[in-house]
């Protein structure tokens, strides 16, 4: 079922959902199930599965030269979605990127998803390859998520890249896109970012999931800005409980966002990461309660490979 239908059918009640990462290459699907099992009692209508593009690894050879190797550390997004739908009868949402995909790759990927009975896709540009500073698209690929959304919408209308394809069966994907309450790291301003977010909606996206934030005021202000810009689709807040001291520096750097001073002070005072994990649960629970009271359609948690803290939060809310 489409995310928008799940939201409509819930009749205003906030629902629980989460995002998982495919396991590192070499690990088993059991790792995903072990992570998901404890969370299924909270009846998520959908679960997102991230997509991880290739990375370049440089190995030093005996003669001192570097050999470039292309690796994908976390393959398996589509297979995991199929396995999740099969095991739990819950909608699995694959993330799909511009990065590393030609338009032809994208079309073939979407055809596979359609055959598997996947109803939703999360359309993203993706980041630059780790060893590069700027994002570059494939020669025959998309530069922005809005262009990817447009291609998915065209396939939903039965328009394939090759206009001569016979029959032209229509897909019917519900398309989600990313939004950034504290603006995307490359955007020159939040207004500019919201302008391009609107383009993704105009091109056919029907819901937004936000980047994580730790101060709800950032989310509420972002929603107001989006509404003022004419964006009317559901804006699902993405939340992550802080879990280690190291994340105090990692999260702002990696996601270009600010942590509230109270949270920073709290983490600094913690004697170890066990205490940080507990504080993260408490902070995120408070955030969640306020967001539920404000009537958000879904709370979407970034599980980052571990589910004990998400379970602790969900237990007191759902
Ligand atoms: P876009 O919407 O294309 O925006 C990228 C930047 O370009 C923004 O600064 C925007 O303002 C600007 N822009 C957009 N259109 C134009 C235009 N026409 N002209 C000029 N500027 C423009 N990454 C992964 O690799 N895998 C995942 O599974 C994944 N899942 C994610 C899930 C969520 C909910 C979120 C919030 C992020 C996720 N990401 C993932 C990270 C994401 O790929 C990066 O944040 C990426 O840098 C931007 O992706 P986007 O889809 O927001 O890009």
* Spatial distance between the Cα atoms of 206 and 223, rounded to a whole number of angstroms: 15
Per-residue pLDDT for the chain (318 aa), expressed as one digit of tens each?
A: 999 999 999 999 999 999 999 999 999 999 999 999 999 999 999 999 999 998 888 889 999 999 988 899 999 999 999 999 999 999 999 999 999 999 999 999 999 999 999 999 999 999 998 878 899 999 999 999 999 999 999 999 999 999 888 889 999 999 999 999 999 999 999 999 999 999 999 999 999 999 999 999 999 999 999 999 999 999 999 999 999 999 999 999 999 999 999 999 999 999 999 999 999 999 999 999 999 999 999 999 999 888 999 999 999 999
Q: How far is the CA of 195 from the centre of ligand 1 (A)?
A: 13
127 Cβ inside 6 Å of ligand 1? yes
Domain boundaries in the chain? 3-315
Q: How far is the CA of 250 from the centre of ligand 1 (A)?
A: 19
Q: Please name the residues in contact with 105: beta carbons below 8 A apart, sequence gap of 6 or more.
A: 138, 141
Task: Please state the pTM of the whole predicted model.
Answer: 0.97
Question: What is 3-315's CATH number?
Answer: 3.20.20.220
Answer whether 207's CB lies under 8 Å from 238's CB: no
User: Which ligand 1 atom minimizes the distance to the CA of 211?
Assistant: 36
Q: Please name the residues in contact with 314: beta carbons below 8 A apart, sequence gap of 6 or more.
A: 16, 39, 42, 301
């Amino acid at each position: 079922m489409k995310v928008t239908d799940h939201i409509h059918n819930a009749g205003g009640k906030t629902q629980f959902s989460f995002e998982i990462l495919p396991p590192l290459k070499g690990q088993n699907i059991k790792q995903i199930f072990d992570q998901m099992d404890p969370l299924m009692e909270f009846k998520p209508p959908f679960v997102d599965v991230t997509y991880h593009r290739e990375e370049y690894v440089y190995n030093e050879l005996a003669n001192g030269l570097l050999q470039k190797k292309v690796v994908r550390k976390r393959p398996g997004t589509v297979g995991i979605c199929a396995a999740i739908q099969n095991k739990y009868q819950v909608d699995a949402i694959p993330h799909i990127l511009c990065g590393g995909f030609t338009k032809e790759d994208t079309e073939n990927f979407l055809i596979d998803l359609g055959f598997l009975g996947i109803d939703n896709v999360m359309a993203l540009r993706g980041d630059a390859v780790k060893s590069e500073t700027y994002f570059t698209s494939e020669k025959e690929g998309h530069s922005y998520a809005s262009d990817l959304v447009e291609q998915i919408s065209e396939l939903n209308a039965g328009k394939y890249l090759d206009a001569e394809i016979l029959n032209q069966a229509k897909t019917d994907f519900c398309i989600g896109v990313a939004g950034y309450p504290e603006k995307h790291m490359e955007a020159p301003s939040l207004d500019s970012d919201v302008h391009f977010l609107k383009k993704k909606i105009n091109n056919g996206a029907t819901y937004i999931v936000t980047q994580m934030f730790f101060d709800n005021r950032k989310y509420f202000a972002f929603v107001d800005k989006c509404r003022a810009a004419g964006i009317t689709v559901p804006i699902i807040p993405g939340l992550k409980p802080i879990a280690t001291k190291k994340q105090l520096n990692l999260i702002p750097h990696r996601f270009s966002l600010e942590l509230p001073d109270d949270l920073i002070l709290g983490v600094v005072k913690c004697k170890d990461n066990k205490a940080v994990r507990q504080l993260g649960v408490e902070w995120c629970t408070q955030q969640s309660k306020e967001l539920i009271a404000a009537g958000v359609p879904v709370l979407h948690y970034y599980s980052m490979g571990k589910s004990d803290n998400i379970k602790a939060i969900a237990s007191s809310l759902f």
